[in-house]
Every structure is written in C-alpha cells, then in structure tokens.
Amino acid sequence: MARSALLNVMVQAALKAGKSLSRDFGEVQNLQVSVKGPSDFVSQADLKAEKLVRDELLKARPTYGFLGEESEEIKGTDGAHRWIVDPLDGTTNFLHGIPQFAVSIALERNGEIVAGVIFNPATDELYTSEKGGGAFLNDRRIRVAARKVLSDSVVGCGIPHLGRGSHGKFLVELRHVMGEVAGVRRMGAAALDLAYVAAGRLDGFWEAGLSPWDMAAGLLMIREAGGFVSDMHGGTEMFDTGTVVAGNEYIRKELIEVIARPVPKN
C-alpha cells in the first residue's frame, strides 16, 4: 500500500514506541508504577512511550497540536491539526503480562479524523488508515464483517470497574445484549477492539466512558473498512459523550436498539 508522508511519520512513531514497550513488556514486575486512580495504573513504560511518540510527531510537524493521555495538551500554532495519542492503550493488561495492548495515534484536521495508526507490538500487528484510502492490517486491506443479524455475531464491549463508569447501567445493557448474540468479548483495550471490528474479527462493539485518545484512530479505521460508528444515541458526538457503538450498518443499528431497551420489570 502507498502511504502518505504524514502516515509514514505516524507509523514510525508507533513502531518506535512499540519497540520501547516490547522491551518493558515481560519485565512488568520491575517497573516503577504510580497510582493515578482506582485500578488505573500508569507506568514508566507508558510515560516513556508517550514522550517517544510526542517527540517524533512534533519533530516532523512542530506546528501541530498534541492531545495525549499522560500529559498536558499542547495547542498547535497552525490551528487546524492535532495529534490524538494513547501511548499505551490497555495499561492494565500490560502490567499484568497480558499481550493485548497498543499504541494508538490519530491525526485530526479541522475537527475531523483523517489518519489513524494502531500498533500492538506483542503481536506485531499494525493497523493503518487514511480518509478515503481504506484500512489495512500489515499492508493487507481489511473490511468489516458481513453478518447481518446479532444472533450470528460476536460483539466486544468495555466493562466498568472499580472507580469507573456506571456498573448498574452496564449490567442492564449486557443483560439485553447477551441474550441476542453468539458471544460477548471484553479484551481490555478499546483501540484494539475497534481495530478488530475494522478487521472483521468482532462484528460489533459498544462502550461508554471513553476518552478521545481511546477511540480516535479506531473510528476512522472502521469507517475506512466499510463500517459505521456512532455514539450510543446513534449520533456523531462520540468524543463529547464518551460513548461508541460500531459495526456494519446492520449490526450497529441492532446494537443501539438492544442497548437502549428499558430495564425489564420482573
């Protein structure tokens, strides 16, 4: 596949951060960690990866803004472009030695995501997309799955945990969804979950309580793979609401309807 100069910059930044994370992965017992919230750990590996990504991106495009999970937002001078970065999506997985984590980088132009990279260094899987150019996994074109009914589908989700999210609301959603699908999966890294939808591995996905860096690259990835994304109300306010529902046109629509069902009276 032919990549633009900007996408090449993003790929190189992701690979560099991924190499650093790979060196630290497996050494998690020796990492110095600090607590930034209940069950939400930030490691030296995380901070180091963000610095690597930030330095690489801002060296190539010094006028662009930068929004990352682990640092203060940098306002760009050009006013149009902003990098949106999660240097280690799936931090808890990483710290527990579970190889389901990723570097996620998106480029926003005038409020629209126009390029995305998601890289899992543990599996050496590199997902890339540019607006109008399709989505790729290790340079192979990917498409969302073609299943049209939930009963044939495996869907992913995020599960709120200690100190995060509305547990009761999620349990109602899960109760509705689990009775309609072939399987539900919770893998602990939203960026990769969205990439899995783009690659047809998951038929759909829903989650609340997300930040822009969790989903920016994945949203474009799914659209470029022929899929659809929305907030939980079917709108386009994913960043503002922190919610996302994704799949092909049939599965996303069905998921929204199932998730919105009222609490059963029994």
Q: Which residues are annotated as a binding site?
A: 69, 86, 88-89, 214
- 105 and 6 in contact (C-beta within 8 Å)? no
* Token pair recorded at residue 168: 């009761």
Q: Which residue ranges are tagged as binding site for Mg(2+)?
A: 69, 86, 88-89, 214
- 94 and 28 in contact (C-beta within 8 Å)? yes
- 103 and 49 in contact (C-beta within 8 Å)? yes
Type and span of the H or E element at 11: helix 5-24
Over the range 161-185, which residues count as b (16 or more CB within 10 Å of their CB) and which as e?
Answer: eeeebeeeebeebbebbeebbeeee
The Cα–Cα gap between 135 and 165 comes to: 31
Type and span of the H or E element at 88: strand 81-89
